[in-house]
Structure 1
Amino acid sequence: MSDCLIDADALARALNAHASIVLVDCRFDLAHPNAGRQAYLAGHLPGAVYAHLDEALSGHLGPDTGRHPLPTPEAFGARCGEWGICPGVRVVAYDDAGGVYAARLWWLLRWLGHADVCVLDGGVQAWLAAGHALETQSSVPTPRSFTGTPRVDLSLGVEALQTALADRRCCLIDVRAAARYRGEVEPIDPVAGHVPGAVNHPFTHLLDERGHFLPAAALREQIESLLSGAPAETVVAMCGSGVTACHLLLAMTHAGLPGGRLYPGSWSEWIRDPTRPIA
């Protein structure tokens, strides 16, 4: 495991040693927004709090935003404080979808300068497979003070992205399913297709059959093949709404290729302006 991933047994040992850890359950289902909270109430890792993607890990929708705009630093910082997160506390995020939603929390915390955060590799399934138990009692953490300043080097807005694409200064990687990228299907957004110049690498390619991340060396080989010699710092990750794209950035960090940036608005923001090109 790397600093950004933790396995189930290592997490269990840390919890048994009473380490200063905040567990955050990030389970979610785009088609059924209440499913994650219901799953949390039915059983979650001991002491975990629940983070709803729409309510806690996203901001308010606007006429020009994507489906999951970034929360304001103030709103997200207040939420983190409610969960008991503060300097010196390690955060472990998990879900049941290969880390897709947990990676959003991982990225947001790093965006606000809280680097001590990792994702449970394999999620709830790995925890149960290792013989560890869930609990149903909702956690009531002690509120803490959390403040953070956004790191401008971790994201790229739509206008800056358009400039970088025109100047060929970035490698835009779209992690949606191949059929959505090609525009053959579009189950969520009103317009199908992809951003011209983007390359496709579905996030599922980063995982093994159990929903664990591939070994760092295998991930590095995949990502470097997309870069064609360009540095990792040129990567801009996108998806449908800026959530799954964080999964690629987590995989890059695990692979020893940090420096990639997130296009938070992603496809659902790009298509808001009909003058933007579509391929």
Structure 2
Amino acid sequence: MPYTTLISATDLAKNIRDTNWVVLDCRHDLANPDAGRSAYAAGHIPGAQFADVETDLSDKSPGPHGEFRGRHPLPERNAFTETLRRWGVTHSSQVVAYDAHGGMFAARLWWMLRWIGHESAAVLDGGLQAWQALGLPLSTEPATRPRGNVEPHSSRMLTVSAGEVLTNLSNPTRTVIDARAPDRFRGENETLDPVGGHIPGAINRFFKNNLQEDGRFKPADQLRSEFSALVTVPQATIMQCGSGVTACHNLLAMEVAGLSGAVLYPGSWSEWCADPAHPVATGS
């Protein structure tokens, strides 16, 4: 059976030499875009390739009318598929994404794989720390693979636009959940959010609340209980964050909990607050 949400370091180690498995290192630092690639060069899981959040998992070109689409807009589906082929992903590949940040960046790659219809995608539970805690080795050798042939399929992961979020304010049929840290949600972090605050009516669910103290995800039943207190209908839930990255962590947590169907607002706060016509709320 494929892994479709999380995978343990033990199970990854058992399959690390399987040529049908593709491992991708998603380490990143929002304040230092070069940090992830430097960390990869210093030591990564053997056979892993580097997935750059800024270039491989985003396309920062403006929208069709020159509009700003946020700090990490999604690439076109076909362009992302081409990136996956470069990494050697085939239609039957088991893809495993990891980082060293509780899955906050690896979850973005997991979501994007599901977005193009590739179901066999999982995040390493506990990240690189879980791998190292088992005494497993790291490599400094860059990894390459033969070109893959993956094709995009029907997507189970849907998105909404800023316009749809705006419409929801006047006709609130969906719950908006913001994955940013509480200080950013309240509008108190000018470093990451020069325009502070949140979408009116949004609920704050910091992505780190999905994790246990050891950095692994909470058990499914605990996540189900916590999200059920916020969400009545998963399919009527919009996930957002600063730029559509950490929102995917909440989407993964809901999938682990068996609460499928929430959608992503890719532009998130960075796109929303760039338009002065959009209303902004501050505080708790």
Matched residue, 2:183: 179
In structure 1, give the amino acid aligned to 2:206: P
Residues 191-230 of structure 1 mapped to structure 2, 5 A cutoff: 191-227=195-231, 230=232
Matched residue, 2:253: 251
Structure 1 distance, partners of 2:191, 2:154, is: 32
* The 10-residue stretch of structure 1 (161-170 or 134-143) with the greater mean CA deviation from structure 2: 161-170
More helix by proportion, 1 or 2? 1
The Cα shift of 1:19 comes to: 5.5
* The 10-residue stretch of structure 1 (55-64 or 98-107) with the greater mean CA deviation from structure 2: 55-64
Aligned-residue RMSD, C-alpha: 1.6
Deviations 1:163-188 (A, max 9, x none): 23322111100011111111122322
Structure 1 distance, partners of 2:68, 2:34, is: 25
Matched residue, 1:58: 58
Matched residue, 1:241: 243
Structure 2 distance, partners of 1:210, 1:235, is: 28
Matched residue, 2:194: 190
In structure 2, give the amino acid aligned to 1:161: V
Structure 2 distance, partners of 1:236, 1:27, is: 25
Deviations 1:245-269 (A, max 9, x none): 0000000001111111100000000
Structure 2: which 5+ residue stretches go unaligned? Answer: none
Paired residue secondary structure (2:97):
strand
The Cα shift of 1:153 comes to: 5.3
Matched residue, 1:170: 174
Task: Determine whether 1:270 maps to 2:269.
Answer: no
Identity of aligned residues (%): 47
Matched residue, 2:102: 98
Deviations 1:222-243 (A, max 9, x none): 111112xx21111111000000
Paired residue secondary structure (2:122):
strand
**Contact 2:114/2:157 (8 A) holds in 1:** no
Deviations 1:12-67 (A, max 9, x none): 11225x26100000000011111110111111111111001001000124242100
**Contact 2:91/2:151 (8 A) holds in 1:** no
Structure 2 distance, partners of 1:48, 1:98, is: 18
Structure 1 distance, partners of 2:26, 2:154, is: 21
Matched residue, 1:39: 39
In structure 1, give the amino acid aligned to 2:81: G
Matched residue, 1:10: 11
In structure 2, give the amino acid aligned to 1:215: P
Structure 1 distance, partners of 2:12, 2:36, is: 21
In structure 2, give the amino acid aligned to 1:15: I
The Cα shift of 1:135 comes to: 0.8
Structure 1 distance, partners of 2:35, 2:159, is: 29
Give the TM-score taking structure 2 as reference length.
0.93
* The 10-residue stretch of structure 1 (196-205 or 141-150) with the greater mean CA deviation from structure 2: 141-150
* The 10-residue stretch of structure 1 (26-35 or 55-64) with the greater mean CA deviation from structure 2: 55-64
**Contact 2:178/2:241 (8 A) holds in 1:** yes
Matched residue, 1:129: 133
